[in-house]
Structure 1
Amino acid sequence: AIEKARHSNENIIYEMGHASIAEHAVFNLDLIDVSRLLTESIQRSRLASFTEKSQRYVTFSKDYLIPKELSRRPALKQKYCELMDRLFAEYETSFHALNEYYRTHKPELKPRDRECLAKEDARYILALSTKTQMGITINARSLEQLLRRLANSSLKEAIELKELIIKQVKPICPSLIRHTDPDGYRGTVDLNKVGFSGFLQQELPWLAEIDLENKARLISAPQNADDQILGAITYGDSELSWQDNMEIIWRLPRLSKEQLWQQVFAGMKSWHKVPRAFEAADFEFELSMSESCWAQFKRHRQCTILKKSVYPGNFLIPEAIRMIGREEKWNSLIKESISLADLIPPCIKEVQNYMKLNGSICKIYVKMNFRELYHFVRLRSDEHAQWEIREVSNAICEIVKKYAPNASRMLCGKSCLK
């Protein structure tokens, strides 16, 4: 019976192309001692659930991944380990100093809340080589895509993880997971092979021009997002075509539109979702954030997110670190990490990414529809959200409200709706 079922699966999924059948098989995996860097590749899977050990709430002991790529370069490996040791030592020093600082300056805080605040900022000095742990719930179809992505990675850590997962799941479902080996397709480009240098900065690194205060820059917005969404909301009950219905909305008196918007938001609570019609309006942004903030932002993976792969030279030092007098030490360690990354030979350049710090600045392209914006802002503009991603969320919210004042009238953190 099992062999017959497996033969049927292979025929339906791979020969007939009905891959959604594989989504009925669901796995719960516990990944231990993976680097923060590798979590980026893992958590790109949209149709999966992740729970990761929090650097915001959990104190991290000195535990970092030593890339296998450095095993034949003992001198470089030693410098790498020495740097990681110093980073963790500074993390611990900054954590204790921040804890004492908040004990004095915020005596109203409970001990646990005070420690969480200290961890929240001290973690910015940790590297992406820091080990973490996560639980995953994922269906077989998404798991096959994840395994293929890991197999195509340039990191040995990713390839080893792929083999470990295969060893666990393949005996259970051999008919559901087939295409997991590298097949030459990556869908990427190599700008160095293009006979045009316009993609590359000719003088000073463009990253030096990043304005850390300008968290969000609008790329595009609908010409009239309010009418676009209102037209989508009324379309289902209208007897008109999409275009004719939109023309009615465009000509509708302002008072009539206001009455419709009041109906849309009547009785809305913090846990409610806006209607699917809000997905009819898209906004595009370019965002600046730290790797620490990116670790949170990447969880909003239903929207379109593209991260620049260049190694950044800018760094975000939390204001609290300046208040406790650790800025000079941090700057010294930041320079050390950049200098060490520059020593990595081109043949293993991906190892540089392990030396990025949580405070390293990255650039992000994101396209969100209005419904995704509501979900993001509701969570990230909340009073309990981490301060940096709250700044990013508030910056996005401020821009969107200018372009869609009616559709965004309830666009705020959930704490604002109490």
Structure 2
Amino acid sequence: YAIALATETQLGMTINARNLELMLRRLAASPLAEARLYSEKLYAATRDIAPSLIRYTQATDYDLLTRRNLREFCKTYAPEKKNLPPEGVRLLWSTPDADTKALAALLFASSVWNYDHCLKQAKRMDLRDAKALFKTVFENIQAYDAVLRELENVDLQFELTVSASCFAQLKRHRMSTIISQDYDPALGVTVPPAIRAIGRQKEFMAMIRKTNGVYDLVWQKHPEAAAYVLTNAHRKRVLMKLNARELYHLSRMRVDAHAQWDIRKLSEKMLKQSSKVMP
């Protein structure tokens, strides 16, 4: 958590030609010199493998200008004061009557009835029968089994405030829509329990204050590059939409004794809030 985001790592990647072409084009449009250089190197290493497939690799006006223009437009609507989130997890929206609609989808998939009839029967179910049907879905599931796709019919949307370390794990859940903001020192930092346990929180926060000071200096001249000096403890806001099937998968992986503590804490809060609207 004390390591800077500028710290390098190694990466292994498997990718198809279509996604590689898209990656090259987006990297070429990045305001970061490192990303543009990486686009050039990656293209040089792959262009002779499938030249007929990897063709459109140059930055377009769409990639170059759209985000920039959107940010300029949004400045007009900035709040007078910095609006900080009260908590790291906030459920913004969920499918109305989600349990009923999930039940209807299960009835639909296991019958020859039309959806209207399935929805009607789902609404008639009492709590005992509804729980019995859901129990049938999960009673024989193993750790390596995928949850039935019927649960994809209900969605949830969250606003999350996460550390860089947590976000690195969260974004692996690709069967969801994740929209993230830039890292923002005003959101504070996530202090690992291990730092507190060894009595080094004071030194940790002193390092954070120095980091924030350098960030402010860099941001004044090169705002796009300022995040390089931040740490894995710094936070950003994330808008995440996922369906109940993916939430169940996330929970099985992350609400687990073996999961990393930061994303486990986040997932527990997401699950707790979800259970209130999908009991």
Could you tell me which residue of structure 1 aligns to residue 67 of structure 2? 188
Matches within 5 A, 1:2-401: 124-186=1-63, 187-190=66-69, 193-194=72-73, 197-198=76-77, 200-203=78-81, 205-207=82-84, 210-211=85-86, 214-309=87-182, 311-313=184-186, 314-344=188-218, 348-401=222-275
Q: Relative to structure 1, is the Cα distance of residues 260 and 195 closer, same or farther in structure 2, using a 3 angstrom cutoff?
A: closer
Q: 1:237 to 1:329 in 2, by over 3 A?
A: closer
Identity, in percent, stands at 35
Query: What is the CA distance between 1:192 and its match in structure 2?
Result: 5.8
Radius of gyration: which is bigger? 1
Amino acid in structure 2 at the alignment position of 1:343: L
Structure 1 residues 191 and 339: CA distance shift in structure 2, 3 A: farther
Cα offset for 1:347? 5.5
Q: d(CA) in 1 for partners of 2:116 and 2:144?
A: 33
Partners of 2:219 and 2:110 in 1: CA distance: 62
Q: Which residue in 2 is equivalent to 1:90?
A: none
Moved more, 188-197 or 240-249: 188-197
Rate the CA distance shift 1:355–1:245 in 2: closer, same or farther, 3 A. same
Q: Could you list the runs of 4 or more consecutive aligned residues of structure 1 that deviate by over 4 angstroms after TM superposition? A: none
Instruction: State whether residues 227 and 250 of structure 1, in contact with CA within 8 Å, keep that contact through their aligned partners in structure 2.
Output: yes
Kindly state the Cα deviation for residue 143 of structure 1 after the two structures are TM-superposed. 0.9
Question: Is the 1:148–1:180 contact (alpha carbons within 8 Å) kept by the matching residues of 2?
Answer: yes
TM-score, L = length of structure 1: 0.62
**Letter matched to residue 156 of structure 1:** A
Q: Are the counterparts in 1 of residues 5 and 229 from structure 2 also a CA contact under 8 Å? A: yes
Higher RCO (C-alpha 8 Å, min separation 6): 2
Aligned equivalents of 1:357 and 1:228: distance in 2? 43
Contact 1:226 1:404 in 2 (8 A): yes
Distance 1:328 1:260, change over 3 A: closer
Alignment CA distance shift 1:191-1:152 (3 Å): closer
Q: CA RMSD in A?
A: 1.9
Q: Deviations over 1:264-310 (max 9, x none)?
A: 22312222221000100100111122111111111112200011125
Q: CA deviation at 1:339?
A: 1.3
Are the counterparts in 2 of residues 215 and 391 from structure 1 also a CA contact under 8 Å?
no
Q: In 2 relative to 1, CA 370–326 (structure 1 residues): closer, same or farther, beyond 3 Å?
A: same
Structure 2 CA distance, aligned partners of 1:179 and 1:139? Answer: 14
Distance 2:52 2:164 in 1: 38
Cα distance in 2 for partners of 1:375, 1:139 equals: 25
C-alpha displacement of 1:318: 1.7
The separation in 2 between residues aligned to 1:132 and 1:147, in whole angstroms, is: 20
Q: 1:345 to 1:372 in 2, by over 3 A?
A: closer
Alignment length, in residue pairs?
276
| Aligned-partner SS, 2:146 | coil
| 1:233–1:354 distance in 2 versus 1, CA, 3 Å | same
The offset of 1:333, in angstroms, is 1.6
User: Partners in 2 of 1:402 and 1:383 — Cα distance?
Assistant: 23
Secondary structure of the corresponding residue to residue 269 of structure 1: coil
TM-score (norm 2): 0.92
SS of residue paired to 1:234: helix
Deviations 1:332-383 (A, max 9, x none): 2212211112222655321101011111021111001011101111111111
Q: Report if aligned partners of 2:183, 2:235 keep a CA contact under 8 Å in 1.
A: no
SS in 2 for 1:373: helix
Distance 1:318 1:256 in 2: 44
- How far is the alpha carbon of 1:195 from its aligned partner? 8.1
Distance 1:195 1:360, change over 3 A: closer
SS of 1:135's equivalent in the other structure is coil
